[in-house]
Structure 1
Amino acid sequence: MLNEVCVLTVKVDNIRAAVDFYTNVLDFAVSEEYGEKIVSLVHNEIPIVLEEVKTKTTSAEQGVLLGIRSEDLDKDLEQLKAKGVKLLFDEPEACPPGRYIVIEDPAGNQIELVEFCNG
């Protein structure tokens, strides 16, 4: 079932400025850095990930990405395809905790489905 939010990704245009804001202004702590452009913050149940993107987010673009846990991404993907859900790419891609794919809701909001299989 796809009914458990597992991560919240905040798209930013400058990862260092974002880390500074979230740690020094909002008192989050960094839990892990995945290279130069992705930083995970310490958070109780739902991880918050800061991800640097090439273009600055505007009000017309999505700045926060909802992540939903999948126990079996291949099975869920099959069911979503059968229902005509729009996929941003055809096959799951690798990510630090496992694999993911991005879908769109009817309004065009992106939702990341994540299968944790590394660790």
Structure 2
Amino acid sequence: MKKGDEYMINSVCVLTIKVDNIQAAIDFYTNVLDFNVSKYYGEKIVSLQHEAVPIVLEETEHQLLGNRQGVLLGLLSQDIEQDFSQLKAKGVKVLFDEPKPCPPGRYFVIEDPSRNEIELVQFL
């Protein structure tokens, strides 16, 4: 999406659900909620088939979550470097020094005013 000459960062591209045990999560989402596994990205990250926004299960050690949210909103970036620079220039709290690689491309994480984390992802 474009706003004038600027790309807008308002397209949800993924929901990541942080889980304590990936096998238990796969069992729950497939056997209880009837999702199907779409793709494995290693031993701790799994994508589920979904008609609209992809849903990813990611195993994270429970103590790392602390009081943080268990669901991470992912927004689509068309130009990860530009979005990174613009958000930093706007004073947004960016949790990384630079965009990092991830299985589908590159990403970085920001915080909203309530300390909710939002992931920006550019698919390669």
What TM-score do you get using the length of structure 1 for normalisation?
0.94
1:116 is the counterpart of 2:123: yes
The one-letter code sitting in structure 1 at the alignment partner of 2:16 is: T
Conserved in 1, the CA contact under 8 Å of 2:77 and 2:83? Answer: yes
Superposed counterparts of 1:1-119, under 5 Å: 1-55=8-62, 57=65, 60-117=67-124
The one-letter code sitting in structure 2 at the alignment partner of 1:81 is: K
Conserved in 1, the CA contact under 8 Å of 2:68 and 2:116? Answer: no
| Runs (4+) off by over 6 Å | none
- How far off its partner does 1:116 sit? 0.6
- Aligned residue for 2:3? none
| Structure 1: unaligned runs, 5 residues or longer | none
- How far off its partner does 1:95 sit? 0.6
How big is the alpha-carbon RMSD for the aligned residues of Structure 1 and Structure 2?
1.1
- For these two proteins, the number of residue pairs brought into alignment is 116
Counterparts of 2:82 and 2:30, CA distance in 1:
38
The one-letter code sitting in structure 2 at the alignment partner of 1:79 is: Q
The one-letter code sitting in structure 2 at the alignment partner of 1:52 is: E
What TM-score do you get using the length of structure 2 for normalisation?
0.90
- How far off its partner does 1:33 sit? 0.5
Identity across matched positions, percent: 68
- How far off its partner does 1:24 sit? 0.1
Instruction: For residues 35-60 of structure 1, give each alpha carbon's deviation from its aligned partner in whole angstroms, at most 9, with x where no partner exists.
Output: 110000000120000000012556x3
- How far off its partner does 1:61 sit? 2.2
